[in-house]
Structure 1
Amino acid sequence: MLDKNIKIMHAPVEIAGQVGLISSQLRKYGYQSGAYNFFISYLNYKQTFNTDAFELMEIFENSFEHYDIYHLHNGYSFMDSYKDLELLKQAGKKIIMHHRGNDVRAPKLARKGANYENPYVNTEASHDAEKIHNSLQLFAEVADAAIVQDHELYEYVKDYYHARKKKVYILPRLIETDKYVPAYPAKTKKPLIVHAPTLPKFKGTEQIEETIEKLKTKFSFDYIRVEQMSHEEAVAVYQRADIVIDQILCGAYGNLSVEAMALGKPVVCYIRPDIKANLPQSLPIVSANPDTLYQELKGLLKNTDCFKELGMAGRKYVERYHEASVVMPFLLDIYKEVSS
């Protein structure tokens, strides 16, 4: 078990509620942990201390006597120049960089790797390739380890860290399942399909909605596009859904898929074949890309009796692989390894 005297700082941004959730879980385990976020959005996640870049710098300057591990997120640190990373190393602090997605999703590698090819992925929201390369070189040199949330991101960062004999850990997304009461779809003549595009081009929203319009000529259903809502408001919509569509371009499932499965909803999301091979066989997500989405949704709408079964399978999957109490011991082991 990680020494209870170890103190952990999370910064400088919140990503899909995961940063604040990890920090609050650490406090439940008896550790001192603070999570700081300088990027405030309409999503209104509540478990981080919201600040701004100037105040965060002041917090950073006063943090050295308090924190032992600096768990940084999404390719950011406290300074644009990354000079703070050297200051942390000089002070003997441990640094973990938790890569979250577009901070490392280089366009060329996202489309084709040693054992995969993805013609659908949209990387317009990613940092440019040169910035990704330069920052990964720096992080791999200075950080003590890296964390990613799935095998998709692992491919982008592993060579940088392994070249410097640093570990890259895969830590699944966390969710507190007891806060998501499942509402399994009931038999209905007019199902509700929901999609939530925080990044529409990345998620394939245009292709999704084109497919939705085609299906409306043959099936009776409602469709809601969830946007510009707080996280709490969005979850209330997911609770009413019969099908949730996550993302159909990237090749891996996101936080929306995890939340929807926790709520007992059938989920549609593109899972790249090589990534699926590394996931538990019990994953119940219906995989669909732009070429197959029409047929997959058509199959679901023709067989609404399967909705509850898929929803129950999704809930079980999340309880087994994403529940916070299941994932947190792995994170504590990472901290222990990095600290030793």
Structure 2
Amino acid sequence: MKRMLAISSKAWTPKRVRRLRAALRHDDVWLHLVSSADDSPAQVDADRYDTLLAPPPATGLKRLLTRPRPTSPADRLREACAAGGPLADWAAGADAVLVPREADCRLLAPLLAIAPVPVVHPTARRDLVRAGVLDERRPAPEDEPLPVVPDADTRLLIGPANFAGQGHAWARAVERLDPRTVARNVRFGTLDNPFPSDLTLGFPTLHSNPAWRAAWREWVTGSFTHVLLEANRAILPTRSVTGFQQVDELRRAGLQVAMLSHGSDVRVPSIHAERERWHSYGAFAPEPLAVMEHNARRNLEQYLAFDGPVFVSTPGLRAFLPDGIWAPVVVDVAMWRTEQPLCTGRLPVVAHAPSNVQKGSHLIDPVLQRLHDEGVVEYRRIQGVPFAEMPGIYQAADLVVEQFGAADYGTAACEAMAAGRVVVSRVHEDVRRHVRERTGLELPIVEADPDTLEQVIRRLVADPERCRQVGAQGAEFAERVHDGRYSAAVIAAWMHGPGAPSETINPLETRGEDDQGE
């Protein structure tokens, strides 16, 4: 059944409702009709329609919008949209927004920020584009054909986040493990991203053309047998809806669904700050930190309510999702591997890449700069470097100082280990224990925190043999645990197993005969 949100500055009488429904030529349309922000719901033809907001006379609405007051319907509408609630929830779950000619741009702005694709009268479109409320780009589906997915018994879609290229890496790993499985990843967004993706869709494509939205839904539900939802983000393009809220729709279409947490989507700042002394949330402004807190708590609640498997990309996330199944991040080991030796008598090079605030660079920089000034190390602060140049930068370093804030380890640490470099970082003992239990291997990351970093670096550069030993252990660990075989086996156990993914997979068992003696 289609759910459409109709917005107008005119009163929605039962007669107008019947005309609108007849014009749509659909018998299965639910209409929520919005003309103002009266807080009292009203019913129009209650057996067949829902009216969310009762309309005042058009002249009265115009007068209120041109002379806004704190208690005006327009202000209450904006507040309702910002705070969520029935209006925001219903708008976000609609299949389309009907915007007739007489619609008011100022009234629509807060609703269109949360509602899905608008179907707009040409006159209203012109006004909305001029007001900056609506994107004028409306790509046609035929201009951007969706790829054909090869036929296979198991067809997996991973998306739509692809953080650090991990969605793409997991998809390739799954296909390598079982050639009978087809896996694809998709990334939503318009920001520059250096990582590969099978399919990248900008938000204007997703949200400005209802025909494209329909084609996308049909492609997702008709092309795949399994969906892995990343970071609790919706895979079917509807604004302000989470992946969890689309699980039922995906299952009704016959798809099996799992979820995967990447990190900050579930790491609740207030909880993590109580657990981890060296958190970096003090570097955030209050407003973005409040948003992080709200989103993480919402996601955590929905992950815990989900009745299917929830994967985590790093073991530290199990502090929030105790039943989370670790599907390790994947790195291209061959791309990072180098024969360049460590600590060969020259001044040791220490690299640090402050890619995000939570790494605690404000605590790392002063220590490494002081050691640099003393001539103990050569400190290279890596910032603004294209991703394609990062392998060479890590390969030219001896030590890589990763982070303090998360007390976990992720893609950057795995890349540095794959390059055979000594990785220095803060890692919680629970993370190390889980890695040991699941893999039988010790995590070869040298422990340090702001209080011990200087002493740790001094001891390492004074012991070249230990550096070379730790670097070799890191390269082996990255190949065994993070080259994709272990992760693919965990994901495949969900797709092909009789229930929850297996908790008995060991990365040492994922090495095929061709890998022996590498």
Fold similarity call, TM over 0.5: yes
Per-residue CA deviations over 1:197-231 (Å, capped at 9, x if unaligned) read 220x2001111111112212433432222223332
Q: Single out whichever of 274-283 and 27-36 deviates more from structure 2.
A: 274-283
User: CA shift at 1:40, angstroms?
Assistant: 5.1
Q: 1:149 aligns with which of 305, 309, 313?
A: 313
Aligned length: 325
Note the C-alpha offset of 1:103.
0.3
Name the CA distance, whole Å, in 2 between partners of 1:118 and 1:25.
Answer: 33
Match of residue 322 from structure 1: 482
Is the Cα contact below 8 Å between 1:8 and 1:67 reproduced in 2?
A: yes
1:38 maps to 188
- For 1:252, the equivalent position in structure 2 comes to 408
SS in structure 2 of the partner of residue 128 of structure 1: helix
TM-score (norm 1): 0.86
User: Letter of the aligned partner of 2:260 in structure 1?
Assistant: H
Distance 1:267 1:33, change over 3 A: same
Q: 456, 461, 464: which is aligned to 1:301? A: 461
Deviation at 1:257, TM superposition (A): 1.0
Mean Cα deviation higher: 202-211 or 52-61: 52-61
Aligned pair in 2 of structure 1 residues 256, 338: CA closer, same or farther (>3 Å)?
farther
TM superposition shift of 1:142: 4.5
Residue 184 of structure 1, aligned match among 337, 341, 347: 341
Deviation at 1:290, TM superposition (A): 1.2
Deviations along 1:119-168, one digit per CA (max 9) or x if unpaired, are 1112447753333222333344356221002331012123xxxxxxxx53
How do 1:197-276 and structure 2 match up within 5 A? Answer: 197-199=354-356, 201-276=357-432
Query: Are the counterparts in 1 of residues 327 and 486 from structure 2 also a CA contact under 8 Å?
Result: no
Larger radius of gyration: 2
| Contact kept? 2:229, 2:260, Cα under 8 Å | yes
Change (3 A) 1:54 1:70: farther
* Stretches of structure 1 lacking an aligned partner (at least 5 in a row): 159-166
Match of 1:120 in 2: 278
Establish whether residue 96 from structure 1 lines up as the match of residue 258 from structure 2: yes
Give 1:15's match in structure 2, choosing from 163, 172, 176: 163
Partner of 2:227: 70
Shift of 1:35: 0.8
Whether contact under 8 Å (1:11, 1:73) holds in the other structure is yes
- Any idea what the Cα deviations from partners look like across 1:18-65, whole Å, max 9, x if unmatched? 111111223333222221112355551124322213435553443211
Equivalent residues of 2:314, 2:410 under 8 A apart:
no
TM-score of the pair, normalised by structure 2:
0.58
Unaligned runs of 5+ in 2: 1-150, 207-212, 501-518
> Partner amino acid for 1:25?
A
RMSD of equivalent CA atoms: 2.5
| Most deviating of 141-150 and 55-64 | 55-64
Distance 2:171 2:315 in 1: 23
